[in-house]
Structure 1
Amino acid sequence: MKKFCIIYFILCLNFIFSQKISLKEIGGNLKTESLVKYLAKELAVKYKEKDIAAYYDNMFRINMINENYDVSLSQLDSVRNVYKKSNPGAASAMGSQFEIYINTVKRTRDNKIFDKIYEEEFRKKYEKLPLESQMILPQYFDTSAVNFDKEINEMVRESAGKESIDIVDALKICRKYNSYNVAKKSFGLALPLLKKLEKEIFTVYDSIKINTKDNGIVTLSVVLNNKKKGKQSTILINTIYSGADNLNTAKEFAANGYAAVILNTRGKYLSPDNIEPFEHEADDIYDAIDWITRQTWSNGRVGMIGGSYLGFSQWAATKKMHPGLKTIIPQAAVGIGTMDYPMTNNVFMSYSLRWLNYVMNNKMTDDAGFEDTKNWNSVYKKWYESGRSFRKLDSISGKPNAVFQRWLDHPSYDAFWKKMIPYKKEFSKIDIPVLTTTGYYDADKLGALYYFREHYKYNKNASHYLIIGPYDHSGAQGYIKGEFRGYTIDPAAKINLNKIWLEWFDYILEQKDKPLFLKDKVNYQVMGTDQWKNAASIDIFDHNKSRFYIGNNEKSLYLSEIKLDKNKFAALKVNLADRTDADEMLNQKNNIVDNVLYSKNNLIFSSGILDKSFEFSGNFSGALSLSVNKKDVDLYINLFELMPDGRYFLISNYIARASYAKDNEKRNLLPENKKIAIPINNNDFVSRKMEKGSRLVLMIGVIKTPFWQINYGSGKDVSSETIADAKEPMEVHFYNDSYIDIPLIQK
């Protein structure tokens, strides 16, 4: 969970307006405690935030520093209320370290009795928590006061001599100081109490090493419920995010009657091997399951669960299926290779290096380095403005990375990627039940849907269920937010995914009833209707599509059901050598709902006003009839609803490298200045009610941003191209016989 909280805080910061707090009033007094107290008082007045969860999450900490304890506790409860319906276990436990500390301070006037009162408050809170919340409580006390102290002192030093400080930085300092203060004064008391209470419930075997068949070493941790007698089914979680809090996740499943095993990716935790993400899961998970099924406490039945990389690893496990593996629950599963990470449709993302450092800098996870958005944006900016090749990104960051370079050597979906997960007909052999979860705004949605579609393509009788709704990456893993990126989700979307997942394990492994929520194979929430719908197949959404032609009638750019002169076109010219827009690109909000659209390096086409309400359910597809004065081009397409109130709602997006659009395994360069058809093979799924009076708005642009590699169109390996390859501006002509097919169902 720690990973999701870190990512959520990073995203929250993107919504804070660029305000500053003057430091003139405190003169040269930059002692940490004095500075923090000053900043907290200023933030209490100046801090504004549209996202309710983020607002209260920051304000309760600010009020703790300001010693407004009752207000702080009330705001902490407001944070919990955001997650109460979707994740009640986590909602009850989150912030407990602060609550216990506040209640102790409120009762304590003499430091001599602090320890005694703290234990009373700790036990009182612990006993009130439901079992599932007790199991995850330790993760809130898994913090190093020493590390926080170092980070705070560094941030304070950076502020020295400045006349003001950004609100974002002020918040970071206050948050870290508050966590440091609580950890320093109370965690030494909390941790022994937790261990004592947990030993009564669980037996934990940590640091188990097993040898793989190819002489690798992986580390396992096992958690057993002391009250559970006899042989048990096992929940296996394969993770690259090694950390003490993984045991807390295992305890949640053990509390529900399962043996729980954490498998750390080869090279992580106590493994002496090199860290090589994605490369060994298929073999190592097989060996781990083999070990599990031979233990005295195992009944030979294993299920897997987890999100993102953990979701990928479950599909890796099906590449070489162990007979003991009975079901998987991949959440927001990474589509490794060209599906969504480290490439989306053969276009590499800069974020891939940031993530590699996150998991490779040490045997655990480098949370502090990953969280440092300012540093990573400066790396992206330095690379972008330098015009150097994408291959130099790791060197520019100051830390060359062999895995990053190895990935760049494989821009096609070749044998290197194919060995990691099932490929084509290998999906036909996957005969275990699967429950997939993803979200319309999940960064790994394309991966999750790739596995879902391929499984049914090659196994018509697959038992594979899909839950998809208005969630981001963490939401698809059970941490559903009521509001994000400017969009407030429907109340119906706030479901308890953790409950459904546990019911699924009970259904498959313990022969209990199927989760009531799963009405059919595809279960999707229609945004704007506050209801869920169900379908027997995802393919049925391709049956009812309306075709809109992309055109230029010399007066406007339009989307029309009528095709005009196919020889006419809309022209887009992009100077790939221009790097004056770095800050502008890095500061893009990328909101789901917004008042304006970014209109540089793109063309925007609009439809007429919809005279009826429609349901958009499925994905848009189509073909671009274009010519370009280069041998290649990377394009993006964003589809919006222009609502009657004038705001734009992002429905779906798509990016692709034109030379791979027809085949992600083989690059076919474009003929220069010749009209060709580029298919839009969009592996997406979104559902939203579009109101009468709305318009469809399609944005088509050339990718030129610090967040993605830049395709100069020379025909060389894109990762090796430099700004010297830009030469004359790229010019793309989009002809009037280009079209998109949109799944609109009349309401």
Structure 2
Amino acid sequence: MNADTDAATSVQVEFDAPAQMRDGVVLRADVYRPAGEGPWPTLVVRTPYNKSGAADNVWNGFSPTEVARRGFIMVIQDVRGRYASDGDWEPLQHEGEDGADTIAWAAQLPGSTGRVGMLGGSYCGNTQWQAALQQPPALKAITPLMTWTEPREALVARGGATQISVIASWSLAAGFDWLSRQGLSGEELTARVAALVEDFDSLEKDGYWGLPATELAVLRRHRTPVFVDPSEANDVEATQHMRVAGSHSRVQIPSLHTGGWFDTCLQGNIDSYTTMRDLGQESRLIIGPWTHVDFGPRVGAQDFGIMSSRDAGAHPNGRWSDEVLAFLRGHLTDDETPVSTSAPVRIFVMGRNQWRDEETWPLQRAKNWALVPAGQWRPQHDDATGPRRSE
């Protein structure tokens, strides 16, 4: 079989494949392989949301069986302390070393070419960055979807304000699996889960209003692990374990960044794209009219049309997922087909409701407007060359 061009007619799945980390902790993954001898390039998703859960795979935009049918080994791994994997659950604390160890393990899987790429968004996007910062030799490309660069400006805080809602809701939602691993009796586990469900459902009404705000009572009651203690959400050192900003120069591989105009992590995607580009690495950017959880054509009452959907065939290679796989194939195989014939930046222009290719971001022809003392709006920048003087 030509792994670069032919689709497999069937897929082999290995469940709970063990990978031992450098400290002895065993993480487990489901491995989807094309039928046949290979070899094939390998794609890795590292997730805290249950490797066997269809919802997470759909959110990330890829069916593992479809990816395998198209000539990749697809690895979906539970991160440390989650679901089938061993170890303690400490959100985002171990993703660098565990990611590098997983990449090395995945490169040695039977049938692998030894070249590895990564997929996934949000938390799964940050696992890509943390692994890439370790510079594992087998990692050849990453494709972070809707993830942050500076956690204090997207994830746990914004503009100096602690994002209590994100910290609390995410911690409680992730707490169900954590509770199941605490060695509780059946009766105690049932009671703790019921209490967690009640508090999660009441967050908007009661939970977010507990005082002091940096010591939410709902978090104290359940003690579920958090990204960072709310009182330290604006502390640079306390959030260093999940930061990418300032470290991009250690990532010396191509990257494709996907963001949404309505996503809280949009600035992080843009910053990573521009930083990697300025460092001389191949960097591509796609921005659609999407939220952090919805990739369809509607946001609220606004309908941007069928072709705005992530799954519409609006791109040179087809769907958004086709575009990402084409990018990865170009960097993980010896296929001489260009990675993409499109410009490095592809954005959805709201209002016109159409996709447009651009050579760079920010747009060189963009104009910024400001209110001058005369009380009229006036362009302050003709382009990226500098400010325009006002009279």
Shared fold, TM over 0.5: yes
Aligned AA (1:430): V
Q: Which residue of 1 aligns with 2:264?
A: 443
Report Cα offsets for 1:177-212 as digits up to 9, x if no partner. xxxxxxxxxxxxxxxxxxxxxxx9232221122221
Q: What pairs with 1:352-391 in structure 2 (closer than 5 Å)?
A: 352-362=167-177, 376=200, 378-383=202-207, 387-391=211-215
The answer to whether residue 121 in structure 2 is matched with residue 307 in structure 1 is: yes
Of Structure 1 and Structure 2, the greater helix share is in 1
Partner of residue 456 from structure 1, selected from 256, 277, 284: 277
Report Cα offsets for 1:588-625 as digits up to 9, x if no partner. xxxxxxxxxxxxxxxxxxx88x9xxx9xxx9xxxxxxx
Aligned AA (1:302): V
- Call closer, same or farther: CA 1:288–1:383 in 2, change over 3 Å: closer
| TM-fit CA distance, 1:417 | 2.6
CA contact (8 A) 2:173 2:200 kept: no
Report Cα offsets for 1:383-403 as digits up to 9, x if no partner. 55554433124347x413353
CA contact (8 A) 2:118 2:143 kept: yes
The answer to whether residue 16 in structure 2 is matched with residue 207 in structure 1 is: yes
Q: Which residue of 1 aligns with 2:37?
A: 229
Q: Secondary structure at the match of 1:538?
A: coil
Report Cα offsets for 1:145-193 as digits up to 9, x if no partner. xxxxxxxxxxxxxxxxxxxxxxxxxxxxxxxxxxxxxxxxxxxxxxxxx
- Call closer, same or farther: CA 1:432–1:387 in 2, change over 3 Å: closer
Report Cα offsets for 1:444-502 as digits up to 9, x if no partner. 22332232233235x1x121000112111234xxxx32222111114542432122122
Distance across 1 between alignment mates of 2:117 and 2:86? 27
Q: Secondary structure at the match of 1:257?
A: coil
Report Cα offsets for 1:312-354 as digits up to 9, x if no partner. 1111111101111111111112446212112223322223211
Q: What pairs with 1:451-600 in structure 2 (closer than 5 Å)?
A: 451-457=272-278, 459=279, 461-475=280-294, 480-494=295-309, 495=314, 496-510=319-333, 511-514=335-338, 516=340, 519-540=342-363, 544-548=367-371, 561-562=372-373
Q: Which residue of 1 aligns with 2:233?
A: 411
- Call closer, same or farther: CA 1:420–1:378 in 2, change over 3 Å: closer
Structure 1: gaps spanning 5 or more residues: 1-131, 136-199, 549-560, 565-606, 619-740, 742-747
Q: Which residue of 1 aligns with 2:48?
A: 240
Aligned AA (1:242): N
Distance across 1 between alignment mates of 2:339 and 2:351? 25
CA contact (8 A) 2:233 2:239 kept: no
- Call closer, same or farther: CA 1:284–1:377 in 2, change over 3 Å: same
The answer to whether residue 253 in structure 2 is matched with residue 253 in structure 1 is: no
The answer to whether residue 142 in structure 2 is matched with residue 328 in structure 1 is: yes
- Call closer, same or farther: CA 1:417–1:214 in 2, change over 3 Å: farther
The answer to whether residue 218 in structure 2 is matched with residue 394 in structure 1 is: yes
CA contact (8 A) 1:491 1:530 kept: no
Aligned AA (2:233): P
Q: Which residue of 2 aligns with 1:671?
A: none
Aligned AA (1:340): A
- Call closer, same or farther: CA 1:431–1:536 in 2, change over 3 Å: farther
Which of these two proteins has the greater Rg computed from alpha carbons?
1
CA contact (8 A) 1:315 1:421 kept: no
Report Cα offsets for 1:74-106 as digits up to 9, x if no partner. xxxxxxxxxxxxxxxxxxxxxxxxxxxxxxxxx
Report the number of matched residues. 348
CA contact (8 A) 2:210 2:218 kept: no
Q: Which residue of 2 aligns with 1:278?
A: 92
Report Cα offsets for 1:33-68 as digits up to 9, x if no partner. xxxxxxxxxxxxxxxxxxxxxxxxxxxxxxxxxxxx
Deviating above 6 A after TM superposition, structure 1's stretches of 4 or more consecutive aligned residues are none
The answer to whether residue 27 in structure 2 is matched with residue 218 in structure 1 is: yes
Q: Secondary structure at the match of 1:443?
A: coil
Q: What pairs with 1:291-302 in structure 2 (closer than 5 Å)?
A: 291-302=105-116
Identity value in percent: 21
Partner of residue 254 from structure 2, selected from 410, 418, 433: 433
Distance across 2 between alignment mates of 1:384 and 1:236? 36
Report Cα offsets for 1:527-555 as digits up to 9, x if no partner. 1223333333224459632222xxxxxxx
Distance across 2 between alignment mates of 1:440 and 1:210? 37
Distance across 2 between alignment mates of 1:270 and 1:255? 25
CA contact (8 A) 2:149 2:268 kept: yes
Aligned AA (1:420): M
Distance across 2 between alignment mates of 1:275 and 1:314? 18
Report Cα offsets for 1:626-653 as digits up to 9, x if no partner. xxxxxxxxxxxxxxxxxxxxxxxxxxxx
Q: Secondary structure at the match of 1:253?
A: helix
- Call closer, same or farther: CA 1:319–1:563 in 2, change over 3 Å: farther
| TM-fit CA distance, 1:376 | 3.7
Report the RMSD for the aligned CA atoms in angstroms. 3.5
TM-score by length of 2: 0.78
| TM-fit CA distance, 1:309 | 1.2
Distance across 2 between alignment mates of 1:229 and 1:379? 51
| TM-fit CA distance, 1:266 | 0.4
